[in-house]
Structure 1
Amino acid sequence: MARQDASDLAHRLGRQAEAVCRHYLSNGQRQGNYWQVGDVRNTKGRSMFVRLKDSPNGRAGKWTDAATGEHGDLLDVIRESLGLTDFPDVTDEARSFLSLPHPEPEPAAPRRGVAPAPSGSAEAARRLFAMSQPIAGTVVETYLRRRGITFLHGTGSLRFHPRCYYRPDDGPTETWPAMVAAVTDLNGKITGAHRTWLAPDGSDKAPIDTPRKAMGDLLGAAVRLGVPGSVMAAGEGIETMLSLRQVLPEMAMAPALSAAHLAAILFPSTLRRLYIVRDDDPAGDGARDVLIERTNAEGIEAIPLSPALGDFNEDLQRLGIDALRAGIRVQLAPEDVARFITRAA
């Protein structure tokens, strides 16, 4: 088959990227503008991301496995998920799939005078963040303080929405208060948002099946806490990084929201040392290993930071801030102890 014909097939598959993923990568699920699955062979997990819509960062149907560095298009997905070895069999399967009807999701009804933003899009994320309010005096602040997080200076990337929509897999749409975090690229542009739905009194997360969800373009981006310079820390959860910030209040932090997103995070040009904040689980180990390889390739020093328990918020709540500070101090580069941690003592 001519290269141009293969390219045309891949482009046509990209226009139905979500339908392709639901069919050939059935062990995954949609997260924002991506389909997330273990790998191109349809293994359960969250390491591989398939772009579902065209964006300035890439075409729909392009995918990357953050754990292995593999990448490709939807023809590769068909080949690997079905175990096909001959390329004509791959193209025959693609043509067969494209001949089937795949209805588009019905668009949401627009508000009067406002053009609708596609559900889960970066524009929808920007609108949600714009409609939210600062966290001071809200149940978001209550929720964080109950988790031992009291230093909230410089958390403008976090906001509060009093009635944020939650759509369960089955059943009617609900509304819950939520912590809304802006996900930004290296230029500070909002590309996505992360929602943590909360109990109305802020005592815990909301009693729903999936109290955390992301939307928009997430790959390579992160929630930003502080302005990165030559040194920063990157990890998974927002609460984990806010806990670390209790003892390192002037170090820039970047919650990437999951182990797979952490492995794919992009580095600012000024970065010379990256602290990799890992959760104590196999996914955290995998993200750490991928990041160490990537930082080494770019001449950036990588230093893992490990919790005593499951994550740093658990350390903060169960062991206390003094124990957390002592555990972090011995893991930092000596020059960073004086630069960052002594100011929190």
Structure 2
Amino acid sequence: MAHATHAKHRNALPQLGETRLLTDGGLETTLIFLDGMELPCFASFDLLRTAKGKAHLEAYYRRYAELAAEKGVGFVLDSPTWRASSDWGKKLGYSADALDAINREAIQMLLALRERFEAPGRPHVVSGNIGPRGDGYSPDFLMTEREARDYHTTQIRAFAEEGADMVTAMTMTHTGEAAGVASASAQAGLPVAISFTVETDGRLPTGQELGEAIAETDALSLKVPTYYMINCAHPDHFRDAVSRGEDWTKRIRGVRANASRMSHAELDNAEELDDGNPLEFGREHGELLALLPNLRVFGGCCGTDDRHVNAIADNCCHHRKAA
């Protein structure tokens, strides 16, 4: 069952050095708005139930892996498991065993993609994606560190046993859950990136400032998270928050921003995809590099696709193109 020997980069993540890596764009919004897929509860992992769905996911990841190869850089393969924790699984009719199996299958799919696309100088990191227990936009369900650790442990253990290199917790809305994910990852022996979402004022949905949230998560966790990210917000929403040169900004090594400048409430009610301006989006990420000295992982969130990630790469990954 366990394939931890496949955890090629677990003990030396390339993004902790000078290596810059791309990752994918907005998986769920791409599947729903661009590909016309049905995703109950925004759960992309549900596609793994069928051969057709799995093939669609593989094609999605291939598109980005090929883009990274074209740009001559490595890639973070983030699993489609943002909704694959127990509360969401129950809503979708999954038993505990079936959910565990699908989390493992997601990692196995990414390991196979790494075998195909990784090359010297272009490391491919396999990351198990953890989402919030509640709504990714709203802090309506607050947990303590211990409650969150207990809740997320099963999914994280599956990632570790199948050979993931790391965990990435996306759209964390509050510090208790972020710290619980960090603690569960530490107990499983996995490095972890904690990615907070922020509102249009650059603060967490709880109203807490980003720097304070990072300090509090560090303090609450059994082991300090490996690094932090920001996702599911437009660069305009958090640029001011990271622009003062405060020490905590050095902890941020990844950004997966939204294409749209709309608030979370507006996005929640949107019936059409707002894909913004990909070229402008890329330039804005180039500007973020001057503010976030350790930024290494570049991808997108809601409304972004390979056009946006291509523009980000042109502005942030100073590379040699593959021959």
Whether TM exceeds 0.5 here: the answer is: no
Larger Rg: 1
Structure with a larger share of its residues in strand: 1
User: More relative contact order in 1 or in 2 (CA 8 Å, sep 6+)?
Assistant: 2
TM-score by length of structure 2 reads: 0.31
